[in-house]
Amino acid sequence: MGKLAFLFPGQGSQAVGMAQELMQNRQEAADIGKAADEAVGYNLTHLMAEGPEDTLTKTENAQPALVTASCAFLPAIEAAGIRPDFTAGHSLGEYAALVAAGVLSFAEAVEAVHARGRLMEEAVPAGEGTMAAVMGMAREDLETVLEAVQAEGEAVEAANMNAPGQIVISGSASGVARAGEKLKEEGAKRVVPLNVSGPFHSSLMQPAADGLTEVLDGLSFTDAQIPVVQNVNAKPTTDAQALKDGLVSQVTSPVLWEDTVRTLLDEGVDTFVEIGSKNVLSSLVRKIQRKDITVLAVEDEASLEQLLNLERGDG
């Protein structure tokens, strides 16, 4: 086997019941859940287990819940002696990637994303900002259209470069609507409004970035034991300060996910393991590189066993 990368999903992957089987069956995973409850100051694991879904989906709950669901798998993986060559996370998932790389403790990561979620909710009044997924348009063509809409005085930016022909835009409600019209006129196959509470990864999130700086200054960052490929520049680094700065920049900058996967491929990664709820990143990886790689989504006991067997050479 070549090199191995662990990937961690971001907001939108949350689901009622995520990681529950694992927490019921494995004490180390249950301990992760208890630590999360203590870090946020309420029964997050009960919300993950029972919902309701609309409460779990609130940004300030979804963010710590997703990091908890991902990190619940790490003790079993580490106990089996499986160590990735790189880690990366999509937006919020970068915090779980930092835990896996030894940069932040789990408790501090959950504390940070709980505050991050609240700051992002508060940055822009409800209804004023939004996001939309744009399908079937090249990045350069999309950027040209956005520049034209910005010249009209509208606030809209590229937010997530997810895969070829799959880009998310973010900005004011009117800016995203106007850009959507123009993008369809210019050949985009589809523009799908997203059910989000704000214009994430755009300059409108600057108040959240300012608040997050203060939160992160209170945490202990150490150099990574495993290189982390950052969202903001799609480059691997182990430097604690660069990783910390990247988390702040990430709030107002696009997530360069396609570039991140291409960096990992260039570094010789041929096995991608997504750890956490659902398999959104696994499907994006397959859109970016279809052949000569192994992609596995670890989201329950059965898929965890698959990873352990893959490493042992049993499967």
What residues are labeled active site?
Answer: 91, 201
Please state whether beta strands 156-163 and 129-135 pair in parallel, antiparallel, or not at all (unpaired): unpaired
Tell whether the torsion through CA atoms of 195, 196, 197 and 202 is positive or negative.
negative
CA 201 to chain CA mean position, Å: 12
CB contact at 8 A, 299 and 278? yes
Question: DSSP of 85-123, one letter per residue?
Answer: SEEEESTTHHHHHHHHTTSS-HHHHHHHHHHHHHHHHHH
User: H helices of 72-217, where?
Assistant: 74-79, 93-100, 106-123, 139-151, 173-185, 206-217
Alpha carbon separation from 157 to 11, 62, 161, 172, 175 (Å, rounded): 19, 24, 11, 9, 9
Alpha carbon separation from 294 to 37, 279, 313 (Å, rounded): 34, 14, 13
Strands of the 190-193 sheet, one edge to the other = 156-163, 166-172, 129-135, 190-193
Helix, strand, coil shares, percent, the chain, to 5: 50, 15, 30
CA angle 89, 65, 192 (to 5 degrees): 65
Please state whether beta strands 228-229 and 236-237 pair in parallel, antiparallel, or not at all (unpaired): antiparallel
